[in-house]
Amino acid sequence: MEIVRETYTTFPENAAFLKKIFPQDDEEYYYGFLNYHPLFSPDNIYSVKNRNQTIATLWYLPRLFFDKERILLSAGIANVATDPSFRGQGLAGQMMEKVLKEAEIQKYEFLILVTEIPEYYQRWGFQEVGKYEVIIELPSTGKYQITYQNISYENILDAYKLFYQGFQLIVPLRNLVYIKGMEKWNQWSSMFNYKGEKAGWSLLKGEANCSLIFYGLDKGEYFKVFEILWDENIKKEELVSLLHNWAYYLKKNIHIDLAHPIIDYLGLKAEKDSKNTIMIKPYWDIDLKWVYLPAPDYF
């Protein structure tokens, strides 16, 4: 058995292997990264081969983050998978060791991942920063002055940068190529797809020009918002009122993913997601509480 880096020629085998391990996601999800991610290439994938057959794999995706006007070089760990017949042999750990050495050589600021088993990654110095969700419960009374509009990628990107800079958060760098690709590959993920309906961006308007931008999906029992942005001039009381009126309009609860500093600003109660934990391994001096990975940017 040996650890190799994948190529464009071997990529289809890797995608087929991941589909076997994670049957809930469409194989097109992996091709979405190949076709649309501006920094991705198959040699970012480490795999363990046994007689030329993939038995374990780990994706190592270069990413850029921005901290106000400073660009940070990072990488995301994703699609860590081992064939059930070969588990317990430390294959994922061997690939991780390769990645950690590569990160040092490339002088990354930090590595970031989303996992259900945070204790597994603590051995390599990954620290838990968590993932938090606010639930806006269906109120007994409200208003129906809610409308939806399409919104251009350009307007989304302008709002994105201003919004997170206003909160002084360190978030992924997005441009037109990236945000278009992000919507392409996410449509094939089980997280952003419910009974054939796919998550998307919209502009929501309430009363007196109070509006917000969101990336969300109706999941039947509740409405899921993976990311939400609003103009800094909107008062937080008006925003919270708009959220409650939105729940009244939908006649169901709204589940919203938010960074912890934003939750504190709004004064809302949050629940920690135990199934999706964000973890970071810093290589330089960086305050991890300000690093935020929005769900649409998950690897």
> 78 near 47, Cβ under 8 Å?
no
DSSP letters, 119-138, are HHHHTTT-EE---EEEEEPP
Q: What is the torsion angle, in degrees rounded to the nearest 10, for the CA atoms of residue 79, residue 16, residue 201 and residue 60?
A: 30
The mean pLDDT value for 148-173 works out to 95
Share of the chain above pLDDT 90, in %: 88
Whether the predicted pLDDT of 193 surpasses 80: yes
**Amino acid in position 123:** R
> 95 near 3, Cβ under 8 Å?
yes
Q: Give the pLDDT confidence score for residue 144 in this predicted structure.
A: 80
CA 119, CA 110: separation in Å to the nearest integer?
18
Q: Express each pLDDT in 132-158 by its tens digit.
A: 999 999 999 988 889 999 999 999 999
Q: Express each pLDDT in 47-85 by its tens digit.
A: 999 988 999 999 999 999 998 778 999 999 999 999 999
Q: What is the torsion angle, in degrees rounded to the nearest 10, for the CA atoms of residue 182, residue 187, residue 193 and residue 198?
A: 90
Q: Express each pLDDT in 238-293 by its tens digit.
A: 999 999 999 999 999 999 999 999 999 999 999 998 888 999 999 988 889 899 99
Q: What are the DSSP E strand ranges found in 137-253?
A: 147-149, 171-172, 193-194, 197-198, 200-205, 211-218, 223-230
- Assigned token pair, 275: 């199934």
Q: Give the pLDDT confidence score for residue 163 in this predicted structure.
A: 96
> 138 near 253, Cβ under 8 Å?
yes
Whether the predicted pLDDT of 237 surpasses 80: yes
Give the strands of the sheet with 132-136, arranged side by side. 147-149, 200-205, 211-218, 223-230, 254-258, 132-136, 270-272
Q: Give the pLDDT confidence score for residue 11 in this predicted structure.
A: 98
Q: Give the pLDDT confidence score for residue 169 in this predicted structure.
A: 96
Which are the contacts of 145, defined by CB distance < 8 A and separation ≥ 6?
Answer: 206, 207, 245
**Amino acid in position 221:** E
The mean pLDDT value for 8-32 works out to 96
Residue 148, judged by CB atoms within 10 A of its CB (0-12, 13-18, 19+), counts as exposed
- Assigned token pair, 180: 């278009």
Q: Give the pLDDT confidence score for residue 1 in this predicted structure.
A: 83
pTM reported for the whole predicted model: 0.92
Overall residue count recorded for the chain in this entry: 299
Q: Give the pLDDT confidence score for residue 59 in this predicted structure.
A: 97
Residue keyed to tokens 């603590």: 122
Calculate the alpha carbon distances from 178 to 63, 135, 169, 192, 224 in Å.
11, 29, 19, 17, 22
